Amino acid sequence: DIQMTQSPSSLSASVGDRVTITCRASQTISNFLNWYQQKPGRAPKVLIYGASSLQSGVPSRFSGSGSGTDFTLTISSLQPEDFATYYCQQSYSTLSITFGQGTRLEIK
């Protein structure tokens, strides 16, 4: 199985900050990497697919980059509604899907 490791596990930041979350795969996964945001009591919402493509309707302050084994999700200027938990997810082996353990983004 391909293991996904996110860092940090939790993060405190302020409104307006630039934030970066990283995700590392245990083997190369090309660009088959997606990012999700989950708020308490809600289903996850896809933000980025294919490592860098912005899902329709997602604000442009969210961006993704990376290829191979190392990936990043960047929020350019944190807004109050961005405080949530973020997950990466790989699908290198078609439909053999694994998620990272999550990064909890909290208000400083």
Partner 1 sequence: QVQLQESGPGLVKPSETLSLTCTVSGYSISSGFYWGWIRQPPGKGLEWIGSIYHSGNTYYNPSLKSRVTISVETSKNQFSLKLRSVTAADTALYYCARVNCSGGTCYPDYWGQGTLVTVSS
Return the structure tokens found at 5. Answer: 């490791």
**Separation CA 20–CA 70 (nearest Å):** 13
Minimum Å distance from CB 78 to partner 1? 22
Return the structure tokens found at 89. Answer: 């997810």
Q: 51, 49, 3: which is closest to 27 by C-alpha?
A: 3
List residues near partner 1 by CB under 8 A.
1, 30-34, 36, 43-46, 49-51, 53, 55, 87, 89, 91, 94-102
Minimum Å distance from CB 29 to partner 1? 9
Length of the chain: 108
Minimum Å distance from CB 8 to partner 1? 15
Return the structure tokens found at 35. Answer: 């990012």
Q: Considering beta carbons, is residue 12 or 93 the nearer one to partner 1?
A: 93
Q: Considering beta carbons, is residue 36 or 82 the nearer one to partner 1?
A: 36
